[in-house]
Structure 1
Amino acid sequence: MAKRLIPSLNRVLIEKIVPPSKTNAGILLPEKSSKLNSGKVVAVGAGTRGKDGKLIPVAVKEGDTVLLPEYGGTEVKLGDKEYHLYRDDDILGTLHD
């Protein structure tokens, strides 16, 4: 049975997007070429409570592609996959095509 992690409070579970190191034609790409620190949202917590007690939901949803800070997050390994946990307010933004 596969484990599924549901983040608590305002945390977001991210699977980092690793850019390809080769083109389809087999040309090796430099390591720094257009490296964008991004990831796909796998799961989100329910949010946090404000001072008034009302629920403040997480700003992103499952399936969103997000821009991540260069450092931070907590590495989590589930099965053979690696994920990262970030707080909602650490996520820099969402990426759209």
Structure 2
Amino acid sequence: MNFRPLHDRVVIRRIESKERTPGGILIPDTAKEKPQEGEVVAVGPGARGEAGKIHPLDVTAGDRILFGKWSGTEVRIDGIEYLIMKESDLLGVLETSCH
């Protein structure tokens, strides 16, 4: 992908939900909701503060994140669907447990 987001924007690839429920029922494509979980693909340099200093973003490429149902703008780059949104639209980062 040859795309670099500006300012405090991030590029996200949705992580598709499972095709079956925990009980084993197959979910057809027409009944599925778009997932609200994704992977950060690229991040901008950060937001510029009042003093003119750039504040880097808290997320980095590769982070798994959650976002709101109606967040972001859908775009297609090189035939792949992505979401572009501001970092403030992200709900949080999914941490991997080390148990």
Bin the TM-score by the shorter chain: 0.7 to 0.9
Q: TM-score scaled to structure 2, two decimals?
A: 0.81
How far off its partner does 1:36 sit? 5.6
Q: Percent identity?
A: 42
Aligned residue runs from structure 1 range 11-90, under 5 A: 11-22=9-20, 27-29=25-27, 31=31, 37-90=36-89
CA contact (8 A) 2:14 2:35 kept: no
How far off its partner does 1:72 sit? 2.1
For residues 13 and 78 of structure 2, the distance between their equivalents in structure 1, rounded to whole angstroms, comes to 13
How far off its partner does 1:39 sit? 0.3
The equivalent residue for 1:7 is: 5
How far off its partner does 1:22 sit? 3.5
Query: How many corresponding residue pairs?
Result: 92
- Root-mean-square deviation (CA, aligned residues, Å) is 2.3
Paired AA for residue 79 in structure 1:
D
Paired AA for residue 12 in structure 2:
I
For residues 44 and 56 of structure 2, the distance between their equivalents in structure 1, rounded to whole angstroms, comes to 8
For residues 6 and 36 of structure 1, the distance between their equivalents in structure 2, rounded to whole angstroms, comes to 23
Unmatched tracts of structure 2, length 5 or more: none
